[in-house]
Structure 1
């Protein structure tokens, strides 16, 4: 019997940015694991040990590594570990963003140079850096996925300067897809609707954003981390082999509303 094109059996990959059981990265990791993939997981802060390590143990004892994406040595060690363990990878998921609170809660025109540079580095350029390290290990082609948000395309109240940062991330996806496509490497952005995660809690009036999205969504519900994870499986599987360079909305349809 032939293998389902949606299967990830025999595939290996890295899921970055785990924080706790509510994080989008965990939804992706769980779905990838259920689809048959072997995983390396990363988290960015040692304080998250007590939350992340039990989650890794639940996923067939997937290996979890501390990896601050601003630490070049830790990033290099992550890919050295993947090379040692598997010799190659088939996918990488970039699930992280950061902004200083004062900048995030202020106007775009008032954001600091340092704060904007920091947000761009962690939220956007880190995906480029990870892709550069992943490229030699994507020996049979593969998939790079990052997480964006609708605020990259339209103005969302209180999303503020993260809108331009995510817009840069989505533009990077298009250019990277074009550059890496000849090697069979597909690059995607997934744009979830608002989901109650630790990172999202820093957005002002976030509960109001959740309520508005749920009431306006054609499906009359919010997207979940599992919805995002299942979409990541599709994009990384053979079923998604004809897609690259786009932004896939996983938001119960909110993006179609004016």
Structure 2
């Protein structure tokens, strides 16, 4: 129904083979896209490099958005090698352990700013860097969660952070629409990923989602990836500013 043949995409956020970003990357590649892949640091590289090689990625670069210049270097490499970019997947979020597992009213100003910087402002930075490479239009895609809309036990500070991300998606779609750059977010149900393991009692969240979702099951990274591939394709050229739930219906009953 749709193809990504000839398209160039940047994937930020693969940590290992269980990552939502990797499920998306597989779907992008299967649909024909060429991918630039990043890894967080030297510690993460051995886990991500084999995945990037399996995806035949011609660009594989370190990218810690808290390190000055690393994000810019990734886009410089893309500009030098490809000269353009068709889509970006932002799938990174982080909060310090004491802020993630504590009450939001106990979160320090520094901790709140750090979580917002990594999880939200980095998406704005990517959009700004991608804009000149998307002269013919493009697609920016972020990863959210239902905790942005409803208060989910143990999700804590990431709830307000993801709410800010979703608001950013709407405003970015308004600002970039005239350049035919679309901005959307995926909101998967809970998935067993390394990032999610930092949430207290995450196994209970998984069990609850499976029990109450209309389909009574959890979603997979591959299912999220299929929807992501559609959203960055030309078939979704009229879709922007949306928060797309891929959660077996969890958001209607959760």
TM-score range, shorter chain: over 0.9
- Select 2:10's aligned residue among 4, 10, 14: 14
Is contact 1:218–1:252 with CA below 8 Å preserved after alignment?
A: yes
- SS of equivalent to 2:239: coil
**For residues 48 and 59 of structure 2, what CA distance do their matches in structure 1 show?**
10
State the TM-score, normalized to the length of structure 1.
Answer: 0.96
Aligned residue number for residue 91 of structure 1: 87
RMSD: 0.9
Please give the residue correspondences for 1:21-40 in structure 2 after superposition, counting only pairs within 5 Å. 21-40=17-36
Aligned residue number for residue 141 of structure 1: 137
Indicate the larger mover: 157-166 or 61-70: 61-70
- SS of equivalent to 1:186: strand
Runs of 5+ unmatched residues, structure 2:
none
**How big is the shift at 1:121?**
0.2
Is contact 1:95–1:147 with CA below 8 Å preserved after alignment?
A: yes
State the TM-score, normalized to the length of structure 2.
Answer: 0.98
- SS of equivalent to 2:61: strand
- Select 2:203's aligned residue among 180, 204, 207: 207
- Select 1:173's aligned residue among 169, 172, 177: 169
Is contact 2:144–2:187 with CA below 8 Å preserved after alignment?
A: yes
- Select 1:116's aligned residue among 97, 112, 119: 112
Is contact 1:176–1:187 with CA below 8 Å preserved after alignment?
A: yes
Aligned residue number for residue 65 of structure 1: 61
Alignment deviations for residues 84-103 of structure 1 (CA, whole Å, 9 cap, x no partner) = 11110100000000011111
- Select 2:98's aligned residue among 94, 97, 102: 102
Aligned residue number for residue 219 of structure 2: 223
Alignment deviations for residues 126-174 of structure 1 (CA, whole Å, 9 cap, x no partner) = 0000110000001110100000000000000000111000000000000
Is contact 2:137–2:179 with CA below 8 Å preserved after alignment?
A: yes
Is contact 1:52–1:64 with CA below 8 Å preserved after alignment?
A: no
